[in-house]
Structure 1
Amino acid sequence: MTITIESKLQVLKNGHVTSPKGFTAGGVHCGLRKTKLDFGWIHSDNPAAAAGVYTLNSFQAAPLKVTKESIEKEQLIQTIVVNSANANACTGEQGYKDALETQRKTAEKMGVATRHVAVASTGVIGVPLPMEKMKAGIELMDNQHSPEKFEQAILTTDTVTKHIAVQLEIDGQKITIGGAAKGSGMIHPNMATMLSFITTDAAVEAASLQEALREVTDQSFNMITVDGDCSTNDMVLVLANGKQNNNLLNDLHPEWQLFKQALQFVSKELAKMIARDGEGATKLIEVQVSGASTATAAGQVAKAIISSNLVKAAVYGADPNWGRIVCAIGYSEQPLDPQKVCVSLGDIEVVRNGLPIDFDEAEGELYLGNETVVLKIDLQNGPHEATAWGCDLTYDYVKINASYRT
């Protein structure tokens, strides 16, 4: 019998980034937004091994650059600060100086090394960061300790907070992995308008943690899309503070794969939460591709389908128009034989070996009315598979983004 990773994990009820030992978090209102919380932080009792992955957008925001530089120097982070409402992107040399000043002021407040502070921002692009308000937020960091307030403080157009924590046993120690994320619009594979922060009390070698995060990101955060736009700011950070004193985890540890699978589980759950909360969305769409000749082909076909506005609109309208799915498969530019492709809406088969088959349209419409819709594609061309997540495209998406700055 195959033992799934889920059977070795305990998903904690109401788990957060502070579920792992040695982490605190909080959030306050510092005036960047009218009334909502807009400044948050995560803090580890000790410097933690750190890993990060970052947006591929050429206009990388100042805070992302500062954080990336800090992690590359020493691979240690102790405090993360995040503001919403202002992206501090496309703000030139002054924006970079403001990110450095945020890092320095935070280090002074928390009594940590400047290079051990990560900085993140999300919000409107091209507006200078109001530093007096940022400094006011920093001064409040010893108050309002609450993971829930942290999760609220990092939101932009999100409608819900996104958090999870799991526990598993490694070296006889109960290891916890927690996570929080934000993201609702401007979401597209190769990083997106998302910020995700994952914490663990496991002892992990920094280089191995970085390698694991890259691999996990390609199978989770880089497999979601809302609208096809790739943002300027966004990143995933993982901190491992070693509070549980397990034997150092790396690719030579006998339970390394178990840890990586747990990290992947947390990342996939956060990614699905982001996709489900897409701006104006009413449904989560999951695309399962099997039978591909390579892992890359499986992933690209899944991304092509989940990124199709025509597919997303059809799901919103509960229209079982399988032709849009086949069209997206065809322009994925991956090796396949059209005469072998099979497509199902959930368990309702609509295409077999490249040709339509009779199915009950009313049953198809009823299925597409569910809150979670699974589209299954079998290419019958090899052993590889991939899964991607997204959401439907609604009228509300246009309304939200037509008035984003107002």
Structure 2
Amino acid sequence: MQMTSEDLIEVSTFTWPKGFYADSTHAGLKQDSDDMGWIYSEAPADAAGVYTTNQFQAAPTKLTKQTINLAHQLQAVVMNSGNANSCNGNQGEGDALMMQKMTADRLQIQPELVGIASTGVIGEPLPMAKIKDGISHLKLTKNSGLTKAILTTDTHAKTITVKCMVDGHEVTTTGFCKGSGMIHPNMATMLGFVTTDAAIEGNHLQELLSSTVDETFNQITVDGDTSTNDMVVVMANGAAGNQPLQEDSQDYPTFVMAFKKVLAHLAQEIAGDGEGASKLVEVNVTGADSHLEGQQVAKAIVGSNLVKAMIFGKDGNWGRIMQAIGQTTAHVDVNGVSVSINGLQLVKNSLGTGIDDDKVTKTLEQKKVTIDVDLNVGEFSGTAWGCDLTYKYVQINASYRS
């Protein structure tokens, strides 16, 4: 049997790729946990990024975008939680630049090689004395504390390490992210970081990141709100020793598969850890007129508050799903739609199948709920991820600053 790229990929225990270091510290931005950290590469790494589309793009996000766009290179990213440094005007932009310079001075590298990431409360000035003190305590370690230091309302760190072989060299790709509420990306409210010791030029990395984000992070939603801050940044330092990857490289498909596995895992981790969520929801749409329409319908279903509340209440009210489909502009066979939940068919030819409500309630008790929809108009598909809507979501966001 011929091996596929998937067969050549190994999900490993969390580890940093060759040539990367990371650390975290408690700077006092949050009360009782680490709230600052950095990633550092021994050599400048090729870099790529995608960024929030919110019009009030935060100062750290704008600065990182400008920095990466200079030459698609980074050697470090410094980050903090507890304060977004967003909507702070000229002061916020100056503070982001100062944060970049202080980090560069500490690492003895050029400021143009330092990215900045911040997350937390919007509209409060960044306490620069605490930021300076935090940077002074960061070291070049290999610990994983950074994956927790960036969290806000998340319940756990979200990480993955994947290994594969490229040109006979073992390549390690490690990702981590934060994100729980204000999640409705294009790009939005999460910080995601991917490090790899593969060699791949920045322009190729940017193309790969942008296309993969469209299929992963941009297909999750928790509450329909897009944040001001967030981004996904990738650094590839080439320490594995492979020849620089290009689209016609023999092992390029294997690396792409590994890269997509990292981003898809992180996206689902965010969706399943939505604020107050009790279930991960996956929607798979088939029979679409185009891939774009399949993606559109999947995200509309997973983003519908009525569907999310239905799932939380374990109520097999399939009409909620039908209305979510119908309010899109996608092509639909209005007399031929099918809907199933966890393999139980609720709708066939756009009519209820009369399945026993108790069976549906029982299956909705599972921690993962999979909704399959056939639009019956084409050969394309789409997938999106989200979560249910619970009472706890309101509790968390009613007291976010306190």
Check whether TM > 0.5.
yes
Question: What's the counterpart of residue 93 of structure 1?
Answer: 90
Gaps of 5+ in 2: none
Indicate yes or no: 2:19 matched with 1:22.
yes
Q: What displacement does 1:60 show? A: 0.3
Distance 2:4 2:177 in 1: 25
Distance 2:228 2:385 in 1: 21
Q: What displacement does 1:74 show? A: 1.1
Within the candidate set 341, 344, 350, 1:348 is matched to: 344
Q: How big is each residue's C-alpha offset from its partner over 1:202-232, in whole Å with a ceiling of 9 and x where there is no partner?
A: 0001101000000000000001011000000
Indicate yes or no: 2:217 matched with 1:221.
yes
Distance 1:258 1:56 in 2: 31
Question: What's the counterpart of residue 154 of structure 1?
Answer: 150
Question: What's the counterpart of residue 84 of structure 1?
Answer: 81
Checking the alignment, whether the CA contact within 8 Å between 2:22 and 2:139 is kept in structure 1 is no
1:77-156, aligned counterparts within 5 Å?
A: 77-142=74-139, 145-156=141-152
Checking the alignment, whether the CA contact within 8 Å between 1:168 and 1:174 is kept in structure 2 is yes
Q: How big is each residue's C-alpha offset from its partner over 1:276-330, in whole Å with a ceiling of 9 and x where there is no partner?
A: 1110001000001111110110000001001000100111111111100011000
The one-letter code of the counterpart of 1:142 is K
Q: What displacement does 1:255 show? A: 2.4
Question: What's the counterpart of residue 361 of structure 2?
Answer: 365
Alignment CA distance shift 1:3-1:286 (3 Å): farther
Question: What's the counterpart of residue 6 of structure 1?
Answer: 6
Checking the alignment, whether the CA contact within 8 Å between 1:164 and 1:180 is kept in structure 2 is yes
- 3-state SS in 2 of match to 1:338: coil
Percent identical residues: 50
Distance 1:66 1:369 in 2: 44
1:260-271, aligned counterparts within 5 Å?
A: 260-271=256-267
Alignment CA distance shift 1:4-1:280 (3 Å): farther
- 3-state SS in 1 of match to 2:360: helix
Within the candidate set 166, 180, 186, 1:184 is matched to: 180
Alignment CA distance shift 1:362-1:228 (3 Å): same
Gaps of 5+ in 1: none
Q: What displacement does 1:7 show? A: 2.0
- 3-state SS in 2 of match to 1:109: helix
Checking the alignment, whether the CA contact within 8 Å between 1:299 and 1:388 is kept in structure 2 is yes
Q: What displacement does 1:61 show? A: 0.2
Distance 2:356 2:185 in 1: 34
Distance 1:6 1:269 in 2: 14
Say what the alpha-carbon RMSD is for the aligned residues.
1.2
- 3-state SS in 2 of match to 1:325: helix
- 3-state SS in 2 of match to 1:310: helix
Q: What displacement does 1:2 show? A: 7.7
Alignment CA distance shift 1:278-1:219 (3 Å): same
Structure 1, 3-12 or 227-236: larger mean CA deviation: 3-12
Checking the alignment, whether the CA contact within 8 Å between 1:209 and 1:250 is kept in structure 2 is no
Aligned residue pairs total 402
Within the candidate set 327, 333, 336, 1:337 is matched to: 333
TM-score (norm. length: structure 1): 0.97
Question: What's the counterpart of residue 300 of structure 1?
Answer: 296
